[in-house]
Amino acid sequence: MQAEKRETTMDRVSKGLARRYRRERWFRLFGLSAIVTSVCFIALLFVSIGANGWSAFQQTEVLLDIHFDKEQFDVDNLSTANYGALVKNSMQALFPDVTGRSDKRELNKLVSSGASYVLQKMVIKDTGIIGSTKKIWLPADDEVDMFLKGYISRDVAESARRLNDKQIGWIDQLVAEGRLEKKFNTIFFTAGDSREPELAGIRGAVAGSLFTLAVTLLLSFPIGVATAVYLEEFAPRNRWTDLVEVNINNLAAVPSIVFGLLGLAVFLNVFGMPRSAPLVGGLVLTLMTLPTIIIASRASLKSVPPSIREAALGVGASKMQAITHHILPLAMPGMMTGTIIGMAQALGETAPLLMIGMVAFIVDVPHGVTDPATVLPVQIYLWADSPERAFVERTSAAIMVLLGFLISMNAIAVFLRRKFERRW
């Protein structure tokens, strides 16, 4: 063997160096590309929802001179008077040259059927306006709305659109007169569900979601924390507690529809609770979120250093005092984070609610936990399935509201953790 051929350790290291650097770069690149891909998908989701949905926050309204004709009203017909006729008369006054039954019908279709309810509410609130003439912005029909927002093109053949050439002529005239404008869509935030897109709102679904989550929170937080404290601080380590622990972890992985079936069998059939009620929805979602909360709570109890526990016991605190005065306050931020994440999951759930009748058309905004109600994700599902074109943008708008709730809940969780978490 000759001397120059002998390899030193350094030689061997530097030979492999380039390869090692290359592999390191690939490794980093792999991680980076994973993140970039997922960010791209999220951006795509947000952009497509935003692009579809932003226009739903505006609604076309039409300015009409409504004459509250004295003839139409008397003392006891304030809620049943022919408000539709008031709207029709004022449309007729705007277009005096439209005659013939079918033309008039086409003309009246430009105003939403909900316009008469707006007038009804005004009269019931203030009977003094009877006899006067007022300029009022009323919701336009969803077809008109879609046309003004550019979703219906005027270039396609007349038979292929739902607005005919005459109607488009009338719309152009109204726009020229400044009587047809896009305004902020307050109905979307103040009304319950409706089959008419221009009258449909998410208030009923939001209220239903809040009631359901309130029940879930009231039940799952105390039960979850109590379970975690018992298992972590009091329970002996034996086969039974192992079994309980395995089952809790299993429950966290059970598909949510199973909890719905359980709710149907137990809460509805055995206890006879009402269908479609946020109370039952909350109970079912409690079952679903409990494992999440228990697991998070146990983890945060475990992370409290044993020295604190021992110090408390050492100065003479009872076990309960040690837990309630020292351990729980320190573990609380972690428990709250787990709870909020569990709540956010519950907020987005539809499958278990299907079985207990919360996938339903409910117009009236619920006022309690036993009123029939639906929740936000269910509302999105129902709108996504509706034939009317204008529900497409409303679906996206409702998704934006739901995402808003989810993001703010997660932000609160992060904030709580940052603010109260103690590191040792």
* Chain residues that interact with another protein, rule: CB under 8 A: 80, 105, 113, 117, 152-153, 156, 159-162, 194-196, 215, 218-219, 221-223, 225-226, 229, 271-277, 279, 323-324, 328-329, 332, 357, 359-364, 368-370, 372, 382, 384-389, 392
User: In what helix (H) or strand (E) does residue 67 lie, and over which residues does it extend?
Assistant: strand 58-67
* Closer to another protein by Cβ: residue 278 or 291: 278
* Closer to another protein by Cβ: residue 273 or 351: 273
Question: Cα–Cα distance between 248 and 225 in angstroms, integer?
Answer: 13
Least Cβ distance, residue 297 to another protein (angstroms): 11
* Closer to another protein by Cβ: residue 56 or 152: 152
CB atoms within 10 A of CB 418: 9
Least Cβ distance, residue 226 to another protein (angstroms): 7
CB 417 within 8 Å of CB 303: no
Least Cβ distance, residue 180 to another protein (angstroms): 21
CB 342 within 8 Å of CB 293: yes
* Closer to another protein by Cβ: residue 47 or 246: 47
Which residues does 147 contact at the CB level (< 8 Å), separation at least 6? 154, 163, 168, 171
CB 181 within 8 Å of CB 387: no
CB 180 within 8 Å of CB 174: yes
* Closer to another protein by Cβ: residue 128 or 150: 150
CB atoms within 10 A of CB 304: 20
Question: Cα–Cα distance between 408 and 415 in angstroms, integer?
Answer: 10
CB 346 within 8 Å of CB 250: no
Least Cβ distance, residue 80 to another protein (angstroms): 8
Question: Cα–Cα distance between 301 and 283 in angstroms, integer?
Answer: 26
* Closer to another protein by Cβ: residue 136 or 228: 228
Any idea how long the chain is?
424
User: In what helix (H) or strand (E) does residue 341 lie, and over which residues does it extend?
Assistant: helix 328-347
CB atoms within 10 A of CB 84: 15
Least Cβ distance, residue 67 to another protein (angstroms): 22
Least Cβ distance, residue 92 to another protein (angstroms): 19
Quickly list DSSP for 77-117: GTTTS-HHHHHHHHHHHH-TT--SHHHHHHHHTTB-TTHHH
The DSSP bridge pattern shows strands 133-139 and 180-184 to be: unpaired
* Closer to another protein by Cβ: residue 88 or 161: 161
CB 64 within 8 Å of CB 94: yes
Least Cβ distance, residue 423 to another protein (angstroms): 22
* Closer to another protein by Cβ: residue 52 or 410: 52
Q: What is the CA radius of gyration of the chain?
A: 31
> Does residue 371 come out as left (phi exceeding 0), alpha (psi in the -120 to 50 range) or beta?
beta
Least Cβ distance, residue 319 to another protein (angstroms): 13
* Closer to another protein by Cβ: residue 84 or 348: 84
Least Cβ distance, residue 200 to another protein (angstroms): 10
* Closer to another protein by Cβ: residue 63 or 151: 151
Show the CA angle centred on residue 138, arms to residues 135 and 141, nearest 5°.
145
Least Cβ distance, residue 235 to another protein (angstroms): 16
